[in-house]
Amino acid sequence: MRLSKILSLAAVSCLAIGASWARAENSPQYDSWAKHGVGSSVTIKGVTEAAGQKTEMEITQTLLEKSDEKVVVEIKNKMTMMGNTMDTPAQKLEIPAKAPEGQGTPVEEAKKAGFEVKESEENVTIAGKDYAAKVIESTGNQNGMEIVAKVWTSTDVPGMMLKTVSSTTGAMASNTTMEVTAVDAK
């Protein structure tokens, strides 16, 4: 898998990582956006080191619309790799209020895929503010690569993700750190 594809997947996964939902209630990710006004945004900065290259990312997610059925979030990416900066076209992501039928939580899906998952809570300071965070740590093997990830989330932040640290070993060894650097909640 090409590095740029991995980075794009990492950026989009920021919206889904760490979210969990009950079938009878709204998804916490939907709720985390819907409780804020249109125009609310979150900026995430990340660094990935893979294949001897360092790539820096800046991801801005902005709430474009919300209803009782869904929220629509625009995702803008800026990547700097080998001294070159490129903006990717903005993408819109619809997040339904309810999880699709038959879809498990990310924790349930990770366990089904054979990952060991630990959940805990801790306080973290992100973008100058203290948050009570849910922490999900996972370890497993996929496509011949050992994957270790730790994700901090809070429903008080649009999109839920506060920070993630992950590494892979094997054919495509990499280290990635992503952290919210700005929250503009309206």
Dump pLDDT digits (tens) for 154-167.
Answer: 989 999 999 999 99
Least confident span in 86-95, 100-109, 139-148, 174-183: 100-109
**Percentage helix, strand, coil for the chain under 3-state DSSP, each rounded to 5:** 15, 55, 30
pTM of the full predicted structure?
0.82
Domains and CATH numbers, the chain: 3-184 (2.40.360)
Identity at 169, one-letter amino acid code: T
Better-scored residue on pLDDT, 103 or 125: 125
Query: Is residue 95 within 8 Å of 71, Cβ to Cβ?
Result: yes
Cα 165 from Cα 143, distance rounded (Å): 20
Instruction: Give the single-character DSSP code of 105.
Output: P
**pLDDT > 70: what percent of the chain?**
85
Q: Report the chain's mean pLDDT, rounded to a whole number.
A: 85
